[in-house]
A and B are shown apart, each in its own frame.
Chain A
């Protein structure tokens, strides 16, 4: 029994939570349980899911990235404000990815080379970008998103929405990248023990730097998908996204330095969020309640892993 419990506690909480939420929906709102409705729920969390791919990577090398909020806001504003003029879509996408990578490189430099606390560094980056964007917009909401982006966002392949496919393909690529390439081993080694990795010849700093650049890249992709999902630009994109990304990652069994949940654990962590917001909305939980749920999820998931890794 004890060994069964021990092996059960290795399974990421995301799978249990997902099953529980699915059962709750099945019992209380059976009319929602069809492929079309579910597709729309899951499409809503596609930006979060893409952001989680980067968050997972940096958390596996014992870092964290809260700058996603800033990247999202900046790209959202740039596209909606018309500052880019009549730039073709491909150029907008390239520019967004470049912004994401640049912010990631900056984070990575601060965290890996200057050894700045990752929370402080990435939070400060978000504060700086947010202040700057709000200054540019002088508090007024920006204009409309290009219609073309929204049209692409609404496309479907069979019953599955395009953003969900993009998210799944990126997740698969990430899984292959981490399991088949040397970099994946580096990530695992640095997460397990940075000092031992350093003396074994693993380029610790470079591994962390690259993880942050990739996280910035995924934040750029998430920003494009998020911008496509709304008709109008917004200045009210807050810290919720990166915090939800942290929560989903921990739910999915990836905590600082440990990647038990692999790539698919966090994937299901995000799916939990898709269902969680539906369940909470259908039960009439107000916005502050969601705030509390957000905090409780991170705390409980972290406690779950904290107890598992406690020194005996």
Chain B
């Protein structure tokens, strides 16, 4: 990693963390918004700074943080995964089946790997646009989840529930989840050769040459397939977390997460056109989304209106990102 250098236009200073040519994107905008939101919430509501609300907040933010990390892995290489929400639904549906957790949990991750491979192979080998491939996969996976569990219900193994709601030495389990997924995401994106490939592939696409990385001898096809497997795996992890919290299966639980995760990643400064972004930005984006939802809940805003507001935020964020390509 230390030998890697960002490419810059002539006459611009390379800066890895801040500024216009940062490879990490404008993550500090999200940080600024978080600070503002927290200050506003502290000033206007009494319920915000309570331990109860802090616990709620972490548990609310956790699934989105996990999915956003997975989503970011594919967005960095100029892809997108719209099937993550359905993978989460499928995960809760599988976990609520009758059976030993030692069978169900591996089954969940096996299913995720399979979905990721199908997405990746369709995109790389069969030349399908990522959005179309994952959009169709979203419906296929949702259909399977609805067959397994037509309506919300069933019960999730105690092991999964205690993994999410339990605590070790007084530290609640979500804290360990957070440490685990952030470490994993950091290793994948910023601490490995594979992560560097992701940025190289995405940067090539963003600059208009789809096969730059390929021409430099990277195994781009294989990396893209692995990236989609990772995004499905993170979605399965998020689904497991949610299943542990609601202790049942629900085929509708993931419906918001595809767009929410894209919003979180985009707010965190990651360019949807590829090649620019940082893990910390996506995490800040997810935390910001959770804070906003928390604040709107505390303010007693209608859930329907909250959905509309999230849509407006998504539109604003993506409209502010510039890209060369028009269309999809």
Q: Interface on A for B, CB 8 Å cutoff?
A: 61-64, 110-112, 114-121, 123-132, 134-135, 138-139, 194, 204-205, 208, 243, 246, 250, 256, 286-299, 302-303, 306-307, 309-310
Instruction: A63-B326, A117-B323, A302-B133 are known; give 16 further A-B pairs, CB within 8 A.
Output: A61-B327, A119-B82, A127-B310, A127-B311, A127-B314, A131-B307, A132-B308, A135-B304, A139-B304, A250-B132, A256-B129, A288-B142, A288-B147, A289-B147, A295-B137, A299-B137
Residues of B within 8 A of A121 (CB): 315, 318-319
CB of B5 closer than 8 Å to a CB of A: no
A/B interface sample: 18 pairs, CB < 8 A: A61-B327, A62-B328, A63-B326, A64-B131, A64-B327, A124-B314, A127-B307, A128-B308, A130-B307, A194-B326, A208-B327, A246-B132, A287-B146, A288-B143, A289-B143, A297-B136, A303-B126, A310-B127
Question: Is B135 in contact with A298, judged by CB distance below 8 angstroms?
Answer: yes
Residues of A within 8 A of B328 (CB): 62-64, 117-119, 256
Question: Is B137 in contact with A292, judged by CB distance below 8 angstroms?
Answer: no
- The B interface is mostly helix, strand or loop, or mixed, namely helix
Residues of A within 8 A of B138 (CB): 295
Measured in the bound complex, the distance between the Cα atoms of B137 and A294 in whole Å is 10
CB of B140 closer than 8 Å to a CB of A: yes
B interface residue count range (under 10 / 10 to 19 / 20 to 34 / 35 or more): 35 or more
CB of B306 closer than 8 Å to a CB of A: yes
Question: Is A119 in contact with B131, judged by CB distance below 8 angstroms?
Answer: yes
Question: Is B311 in contact with A243, judged by CB distance below 8 angstroms?
Answer: no
Measured in the bound complex, the distance between the Cα atoms of B257 and A72 in whole Å is 23
Residue picked from B82, B144, B318, most chain A C-beta under 10 Å? B318
Residues of B within 8 A of A139 (CB): 304
Measured in the bound complex, the distance between the Cα atoms of B302 and A128 in whole Å is 13
Measured in the bound complex, the distance between the Cα atoms of B308 and A293 in whole Å is 30
Measured in the bound complex, the distance between the Cα atoms of B319 and A163 in whole Å is 38
Residues of B within 8 A of A290 (CB): 143
Residue picked from A112, A115, A204, A297, most chain B C-beta under 10 Å? A115
Mark contacts of B154-168 with chain A using CB atoms, 8 A cut-off: 1 yes-contact digit, 0 otherwise: 000000000000000
Residues of A within 8 A of B307 (CB): 127, 130-131, 134
Shortest CB-to-CB span from B213 to chain A, Å, is 16
Mark contacts of B293-327 with chain A using CB atoms, 8 A cut-off: 1 yes-contact digit, 0 otherwise: 00000000010111111111011001101111111
The residue in chain B whose Cβ has the minimal distance to the Cβ of A297 is B136
Measured in the bound complex, the distance between the Cα atoms of B194 and A30 in whole Å is 58
Residues of A within 8 A of B175 (CB): none
CB of B112 closer than 8 Å to a CB of A: no
CB of B225 closer than 8 Å to a CB of A: no
Shortest CB-to-CB span from A13 to chain B, Å, is 14
Measured in the bound complex, the distance between the Cα atoms of B126 and A306 in whole Å is 6
Question: Is A296 in contact with B136, judged by CB distance below 8 angstroms?
Answer: yes
Known contacts A63-B327, A116-B318, A306-B126: A131-B140 contact under CB 8 Å:
no
Question: Is A291 in contact with B319, judged by CB distance below 8 angstroms?
Answer: no
The residue in chain A whose Cβ has the minimal distance to the Cβ of B211 is A311
Shortest CB-to-CB span from B88 to chain A, Å, is 16
Shortest CB-to-CB span from A243 to chain B, Å, is 7
Question: Is B129 in contact with A204, judged by CB distance below 8 angstroms?
Answer: no
Mark contacts of B111-141 with chain A using CB atoms, 8 A cut-off: 1 yes-contact digit, 0 otherwise: 0000000000010001111011101111111
Question: Is A291 in contact with B323, judged by CB distance below 8 angstroms?
Answer: no
Question: Is B327 in contact with A62, judged by CB distance below 8 angstroms?
Answer: yes
Residues of B within 8 A of A129 (CB): 308
Measured in the bound complex, the distance between the Cα atoms of B145 and A130 in whole Å is 24
Known contacts A298-B132, A302-B133: A128-B318 contact under CB 8 Å:
no
Known contacts A124-B311, A291-B143: A298-B136 contact under CB 8 Å:
yes
Question: Is A138 in contact with B262, judged by CB distance below 8 angstroms?
Answer: no
CB of B19 closer than 8 Å to a CB of A: no
The residue in chain B whose Cβ has the minimal distance to the Cβ of A309 is B127
Q: Which of A118, A123, A130, A243 contacts B327 (CB 8 A)?
A: A118
Q: Which of B136, B272, B323 contacts A302 (CB 8 A)?
A: B136
Residues of A within 8 A of B150 (CB): 288
